[in-house]
Amino acid sequence: MIINMPPPKLAVIPLLQHNGSPCRALVKKGQKVKKGQKIGDTDAYLGAPVHASISGTVVAIKPVNYPSGPEISAVFIESDNLDKWSPEVHRDDNYFRLLAHEVRGRIREKGLAGFNAPPEEHLIRTVIMQSVTAHPGFTASAQLLLENPRSVIEGLKIVMNLLDVARGIIAVPAQRSDALTVMRQAVLMEPNMEVAAVRKTYSVADESRLIKELLKVNVPAGKTPQASGIVIDHVATAIAIYEALRYNKPLIDRVITVDGSGIREPQNIRVRIGTSLSEIIDFCGGRQGEITELTLGGEPAGNFLDHSEVPVTKRTTGLLLLTRRETGSAFRRWLRNLVVALVPPLVVK
């Protein structure tokens, strides 16, 4: 079950939540904003705008701690407790009539990077939407499939149509028989889609190995999956794309897992971007035991944090609080830190 966490009283929206250059702020201190309003944008090829996740007043634009690097400027929004949507967010029942460039434009405008331009250099033959995680306790992806099967399918269908692809695969952990059953039933009327059970665990950094398991295709070292005719993304991205097209809804929240022996009430929650990790910990009952590792994203590819005053971003997939019982010896902690240093941070576009 996915629990909706109440919106924060103060949302801290970093102006860099994607690869490339940071966004420039489109708002000023003292300005009123509404939920879903664009508050930052960039001209960078790989970039995408950021949006207000609550309605309220901009109280500051200043640097903030950023999980995967140095401090980055952020827009601080104090809630007005009204949580009113921007008028730009509205239902569009005719989204399927949009032309390809209009679809790409809307996807980007709603804060999703990676679909700004067609992959002209490569012929894409397969699109994979995966729900596999590196940490077995991170169940948010499978829960999204259980609660939003139709949105996942519609999002995958949009990407397949956009890329003119005839084969779509939804990858589900083999141990999640419930999610496999739901998705296999959901795709019965979709002749170009299939559901595949994945027996191993992978981080996003392991997508080439995931492709090898699913398709028996070796992605050449140093090449992207697109070079092998494959686009791979996350089921959360599929849902966000569908909501961007159908409802003009920008990416302002994330479904994440909060897990580990150091949290009193592990659960899957839908949380607004800009919410501090400390608020999430409090919402989940608070800490318990001696916390030796606080990991954002999940191990081994997550970011290790030395504090919890960090905001949720578009990249956040989970929060793991580990006690000494789980982290073990000093050598094991050193080895884990080495693995994280060598593996890119876990990223969902």
d(CA 26, CA 260): 38
72 is written with which tokens?
Answer: 């980055």
Of residues 114 and 342, the one with the higher pLDDT is: 114
Q: Per-residue pLDDT for 32 more than 50?
A: yes
Which residue intervals of the chain are DSSP H helices? 100-109, 140-147, 149-163, 177-186, 207-215, 235-247, 277-283, 324-327, 330-342
* Residues with Cβ within 8 Å of residue 337, at least 6 apart in sequence: 304
Q: Are 91 and 247 in contact (CB under 8 A)?
A: yes
Residue 345: per-residue pLDDT:
39
Q: Per-residue pLDDT for 220 more than 80?
A: yes
pLDDT confidence band for 344 (50 / 70 / 90): very low
Q: Per-residue pLDDT for 37 more than 60?
A: yes
Residues of the chain with CATH 3.40.50.11540: 95-247
Q: Per-residue pLDDT for 157 more than 80?
A: yes
Q: Per-residue pLDDT for 69 more than 80?
A: no
How far is the first Cα of the chain from the last one, in angstroms, to the nearest whole number? 23
Question: Quick one: which H or E segment has residue 3?
Answer: strand 2-4
Q: What is the pTM of this model?
A: 0.91
Q: Per-residue pLDDT for 337 more than 80?
A: no
Q: Per-residue pLDDT for 257 more than 80?
A: yes
Cα 80 to chain centroid distance, Å, stands at 26
Residue 333: per-residue pLDDT:
57
**Cβ-based burial of 319 (10 A; exposed 0-12, middle 13-18, buried ≥19):** buried
Buried b (16+ CB within 10 A) or exposed e, 200-238: eebbbbbbbebbebbbeeebeeeeebbebebbbbbbbbb
Domain 2-79 has CATH 2.40.50.100: yes
What is 253-342's CATH number?
3.10.20.600
Question: Quick one: which H or E segment has residue 126?
Answer: strand 126-130
Beta bridge partners of residue 10, listed in sequence order = 78
Cα 215 to chain centroid distance, Å, stands at 24
Q: What is the largest CA-CA distance in the chain?
A: 58
Q: What is the mean pLDDT of residues 167-196?
A: 97
SS3 60: strand
d(CA 175, CA 136): 10
Report the half-sphere exposure of 68 (CA within 13 A, side-chain side).
22
pLDDT confidence band for 21 (50 / 70 / 90): confident
pLDDT in tens, 97-115: 999 999 999 999 999 987 7
d(CA 209, CA 200): 10
Residues of the chain with CATH 3.10.20.600: 253-342
Superfamily of domain 95-247: NADH-ubiquinone oxidoreductase 51kDa subunit (3.40.50.11540)
Residue 78: per-residue pLDDT:
98
Q: Per-residue pLDDT for 218 more than 90?
A: yes
Q: Are 145 and 239 in contact (CB under 8 A)?
A: no
Q: Per-residue pLDDT for 205 more than 60?
A: yes
Of residues 71 and 259, the one with the higher pLDDT is: 259
Q: What is the mean pLDDT of residues 260-283?
A: 96
pLDDT confidence band for 293 (50 / 70 / 90): confident
Q: Per-residue pLDDT for 134 more than 80?
A: no
10 is written with which tokens?
Answer: 């103060």
Q: In which residue are the tokens 């997508």 written?
A: 207
Q: What is the mean pLDDT of residues 40-53?
A: 92
Residues of the chain with CATH 2.40.50.100: 2-79
Residue 325: per-residue pLDDT:
75
Q: What is the mean pLDDT of residues 301-311?
A: 72
Instruction: For the chain, give the percent of residues with pLDDT over 90.
Output: 70
pLDDT confidence band for 330 (50 / 70 / 90): low
Q: Considering only 6-15, 226-235, 295-304, which range has the smallest mean pLDDT? A: 295-304
Q: CA angle, 19 as apex, 33 and 281 as ends, to 5°?
A: 60
Amino acid residing at 319:
L
- The bridge status of strand 318-323 relative to strand 253-259 is parallel
Dihedral of CA 169/129/155/180: which sign?
positive
Q: Per-residue pLDDT for 341 more than 50?
A: no
